[in-house]
């Protein structure tokens, strides 16, 4: 009896994961590497440091692990639209409650800030736009989500890598690798 219950529990978890992944829908205009796992720097560090790094000859903003940071065009002025299944693909860069502010490693030419997410977490912003990492980047030094378009919960998103103030985002990913897409 315990074995049956255990198998049923595992099946329920696997079904839930499959549903979240299938809800990601939409298309990814860029190529991506293998899925990455959530790291502590995205969700629980006492501080968040954002720095600039050149990837593929383009200066972009990265988190403390060197993972590229992105914002969707649809989130402006602190508005949070990426919730639910969206956050399984686009990981919000957050700070725990009761901790300080995000810090910049060097001059970035813009403003880091915080906005409160609907779930109460504090998300790091760049010039007022919430920051995320992309699970299909596969780790530091990869930019596979730039220009990606997707849809979650009836909302469409177009994602761009965050760049220092006054610099245009590259038109295509700075690195390319074949992935097969996350919502196909």
Average pLDDT over residues 160-176: 67
pLDDT at 168: 62
Q: How far apart are CA 96 and CA 15, in angstroms?
A: 30
pTM of the model: 0.69
What confidence category does residue 79 fall into, taking pLDDT thresholds of 50, 70 and 90? confident
pLDDT at 8: 35
Q: Which helix (H) or strand (E) holds 18?
A: helix 2-23
How far CA 133 is from CA of 6, 12, 69, 172, in Å, comes to 34, 28, 5, 17
- Give 12-21 pLDDT, tens digit per residue: 333 333 333 3
Residue 113, φ and ψ in degrees, nearest 5: -155, -165
What b/e sequence results for 44-66 when a residue is b if at least 16 CB atoms lie within 10 Å of its CB, and e otherwise? ebeebbbbbbebeebebbbbbee
Q: How far apart are CA 151 and CA 139, in angstroms?
A: 23
What confidence category does residue 46 fall into, taking pLDDT thresholds of 50, 70 and 90? low
What confidence category does residue 169 fall into, taking pLDDT thresholds of 50, 70 and 90? low
- Give 126-161 pLDDT, tens digit per residue: 999 999 999 999 999 899 999 999 999 999 999 999
């Amino acid at each position: 009896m315990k074995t049956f219950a255990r198998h049923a529990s595992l099946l329920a978890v696997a079904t839930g994961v499959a549903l979240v992944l299938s809800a990601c829908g939409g298309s990814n205009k860029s190529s991506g590497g293998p899925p990455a796992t959530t790291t502590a720097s995205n969700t629980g560090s006492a501080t968040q440091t954002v720095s600039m790094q050149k990837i593929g000859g383009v200066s972009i903003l990265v988190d403390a692990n060197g993972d590229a940071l992105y914002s969707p065009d649809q989130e402006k002025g602190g508005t949070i639209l990426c919730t639910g299944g969206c956050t399984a693909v686009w990981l919000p860069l957050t700070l725990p409650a009761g901790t300080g502010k995000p810090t910049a490693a060097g001059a970035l030419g813009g403003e880091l800030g915080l906005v409160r997410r609907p779930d109460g977490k504090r998300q790091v912003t760049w010039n007022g736009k919430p920051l995320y990492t992309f699970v299909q980047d596969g780790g530091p030094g990869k930019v596979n989500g730039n220009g990606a378009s997707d849809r979650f919960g009836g909302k469409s998103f177009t994602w761009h890598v965050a760049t220092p103030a006054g610099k245009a985002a590259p038109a295509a990913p700075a690195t390319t690798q074949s992935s097969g897409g996350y919502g196909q």
